[in-house]
Amino acid sequence: MKKMMISLLLVLLGALCIGGAGCAEGTLTVTLNDGAPIPYLDGTDSLMITDPEGLRGVTGAANATLEDITPGCTLTLQNISLTDDVLAVFFRVQSEAPLNLWAGLTPDALSYAIPRLNCLMNGAYLAKVGLNQEAYLPDEENTLCCLAVYSLPEPLPDGAALDIGVGEKLFTVRIDRSRAQDPTVAYAPMQEETVCYVPYSESGREETCTLIIERIAFTPFGGRILMQMKQNQTSSFPLEDFTLYDDQGSRLPLFDQTYSYNSNASEEHPFWVRNEKWFAGGQDACALTIVPTVYGDSLDGKNNDRLVPIDSLPADVTLANGTQLRVLSFSADENGFIVPVMIKEGITYWLREFADAQGNDLSFNYISGQSAHRKTGVIQLEGAWSEFYKDRIVPMVTQEQIDEIRYLVFNTTNLNDYPLWEKAITVKLR
């Protein structure tokens, strides 16, 4: 069960809490820009927060505790942030028993240990486009510091009451925005486009996407493109894969994305759904250009391997399909590894394996994932060494084995991926 994606292993997560909504345990008011400390910021260099100082202007203290969300487990709401684009909840989980960190200790792996929050408005689950989370381990034993960021399809109405908590244990939270100083710079182009092209050259099938570029925002959590997409039975293809450039021709890194569909859509009754992508940079641009991606023929086999010596890092590598990466570093211990990379050109790439001094594969088992530094655009390729042992996933790699690693082995799955510039969409911001 080699290198399986964490998302496929969710069923194994010993979740701290899952449950339906219940009665609120109390009511609290959170005043944004109240000057209160944000303890989360003092313990980590967050990958998701791009503007910590600006974030303070849209953040307030919550200071509410939910006891026994599961036996012996306490959740403390610390701070809440709110802008027109996001609702962010900062909270801490403390457990009498050791935390179940089955997926490892890398940033992406820790995000899977975060309790599932319930977040409701007017008795229904909060409408959201996407949810991104991160967590870190402070010095305190059996404690996890957590951040959950809900991206919103529309701004929350003033005075809205939210029920936030776990299972049946909820607090009613009213957010006072009267003192907020929001650093977000946003544009609402409402630009409608219809794009027809062949996204996969092997299939030869032309697809059509009708979309409205609703909002482009530069937030304390990075840049965001919010799009409405028309979904029906015969035309449900979203403009999912594209590259993004500013008006100086600089490529802007893309990462976390949400794409949704409505299976009830039809030609007679189409649905408009909201999707999004997050990106780094572009704050000073007067326009952004979206360029659809065409994927070429599939590749297979080790002939397309590129071996990158770890003692040469940082290093540039060009893959068989023309993708150019800047591999920044490599770090590993008995828990897992992190390989930060920047995409300079191209689309698809794959950290396939590790190799020894002779270039031979080292067949380690690991659960792979990745996280993005939203300010710099660096993608962290991550993995937690793993084996099944007595029905549990546990690290089974020694430091001596890690010391054998001399090369990172990169590969690609597609040949001749390229940006389709003749279908580019330019969005003026100012």
Model pLDDT, residue 2 = 36
User: Rounded to the nearest 5 degrees, what angle is found at the Cα of 251, between the Cα atoms of 47 and 417?
Assistant: 105
Model pLDDT, residue 259 = 83
Enter the tokens of residue 177.
Answer: 């925005």
Using an 8 Å Cβ cutoff, are 408 and 354 in contact?
yes
Enter the tokens of residue 385.
Answer: 């060494």
Residue 388 has pLDDT above 60, yes or no: no
Q: What percent of the chain has pLDDT over 70?
A: 90
Computed over every residue of the chain, the mean pLDDT equals 88
Q: Please state, as a whole number, how many other Cβ atoms lie within 10 Å of the Cβ of residue 95.
A: 19
Q: pLDDT (tens digit, 9 = 90+) per residue, 47-76?
A: 999 999 999 999 999 999 999 988 899 999
Q: pLDDT (tens digit, 9 = 90+) per residue, 217-236?
A: 999 999 999 999 998 876 66
Q: pLDDT (tens digit, 9 = 90+) per residue, 235-248?
A: 667 888 899 999 99
Mean pLDDT value across residues 379-386: 90
No. of helices (H) and no. of strands (E), the chain: 4, 33
- What's the predicted TM-score (pTM) here? 0.90
Residue 282 has pLDDT above 60, yes or no: yes
Residue 4 has pLDDT above 80, yes or no: no
Q: Which helix (H) or strand (E) holds 275?
A: strand 271-279
